[in-house]
Amino acid sequence: MVLDLPGGLFKQTDVRETSGVESTPKIGDFTDSQHTHADATGGGLTTHKSGNGADHANVVLNDTHRTSNGTNHANVVTNTSGISTNVTAIGLNTTHRGSAGGTDHSDVSSNNTHRGSNGSDHSLIANKTSYWSAAGIAVQGPGTIEAQTGSYLDVADANEAYLPVNLPQGAVVTRVEAIGLGNTPVVWTLYRKTGSGLGNTMASAGLGLGPDVSISNATIANQTYSYYIRFLSMDGRIDRVEIQYTTDYI
């Protein structure tokens, strides 16, 4: 059968004449073997080609990403090196700096040296030495007060005299001295007491014979005790009494 215009313009032979197909053409006339792309028999062409024919069959599996210039940055997801280590020291950096000059005061938590507004050091405030004193006029007893000097005078042998003592709570007594002159040996004693009786001895020495620095029960506890000095066998002159102590504010 010839498929052509009248007169045989195209000189075309009916393809069925060469393929063995007769009568009117229909779907299925041509077998798989008669196709020119034989790969179709295997389920279709699975090898994809790029525009220049290069094979990119593994496009689905190709998880290697490329930057715009083609360099490999496949490890973008896992490349975190440097980020965590570069900030590690931030949490450990406890060196603080002053507002001026950048001086180091990293030991703020353990630095017991406090500074005044002018920068002077008053770190020893916890062990500040203080003094308490009383004039002879404050002594109580059967003697008299010398008008010009304010000293306590007693010229009668064996009299007793007393001086109340008031020190701050928590003070630690370090030295006690009674200044004056005894016509005969006059012994003074610093007591702490609660209730009746003389109480507990804290310090003792002779009038005008220097201080006592060996203090017992040295810490002042005003919530429990009262304090006073007793002058025994008083015969002489008491000019003043001086007590040295330290204070601890911590």
Distances (CA, A) of 83 to 78, 137, 222: 12, 80, 62
Which phi-psi region, left, alpha or beta, contains residue 137 (left: φ > 0; alpha: ψ -120 to 50)? alpha
Interval 2-13 mean pLDDT? 56
Residues 179 and 239 in one domain: yes
**What is the pTM assigned to this prediction?**
0.52
Name the pLDDT band for 73 (thresholds 50, 70, 90).
low
Residues 150 and 66 in one domain: no
Q: Does residue 21 surpass a pLDDT of 70?
A: no
Of 84, 111, 141, the residue at which a domain comes to its end is 84
Residue 22 lies in a domain: yes
CATH number of 233's domain: 2.60.120.260
Name the pLDDT band for 250 (thresholds 50, 70, 90).
very low
Q: What is the pLDDT of residue 155?
A: 84
Residue 216 lies in a domain: yes
Residue 220 lies in a domain: yes
Q: Does residue 50 surpass a pLDDT of 90?
A: no
Based on its alpha-carbon atoms, the radius of gyration of the chain, rounded to whole angstroms, reads: 57
Q: How far apart are CA 136 and CA 146, in angstroms?
A: 9
Name the pLDDT band for 111 (thresholds 50, 70, 90).
very low
Q: How far apart are CA 176 and CA 1, in angstroms?
A: 147
Residue 119 lies in a domain: no
Reported as a single tens digit per residue, the pLDDT across 150-199 is 999 998 777 899 999 999 999 999 999 999 999 889 999 999 999 888 99
Q: How far apart are CA 50 and CA 57, in angstroms?
A: 9
Provide the number of structural domains found in the chain.
2
Q: Does residue 31 surpass a pLDDT of 60?
A: no
Per the CB < 8 A criterion, the answer to whether 178 and 208 are in contact is yes
Q: Does residue 227 surpass a pLDDT of 90?
A: yes
Q: Which domain holds residue 6?
A: 1-84
Residues 168 and 236 in one domain: yes
Residues 60 and 138 in one domain: no
Q: What is the pLDDT of residue 131?
A: 97
Residue 30 lies in a domain: yes
For the chain, give the percent of residues with pLDDT over 90: 39
Residues 145 and 69 in one domain: no
Interval 61-76 mean pLDDT? 55
Residues 136 and 204 in one domain: yes
Name the pLDDT band for 86 (thresholds 50, 70, 90).
low
Please, what is the average pLDDT of the chain? 73
Reported as a single tens digit per residue, the pLDDT across 186-217 is 999 999 999 888 999 999 999 999 999 999 99
Residues 71 and 135 in one domain: no
In 63-142, alpha helices (H) = 83-86, 88-92
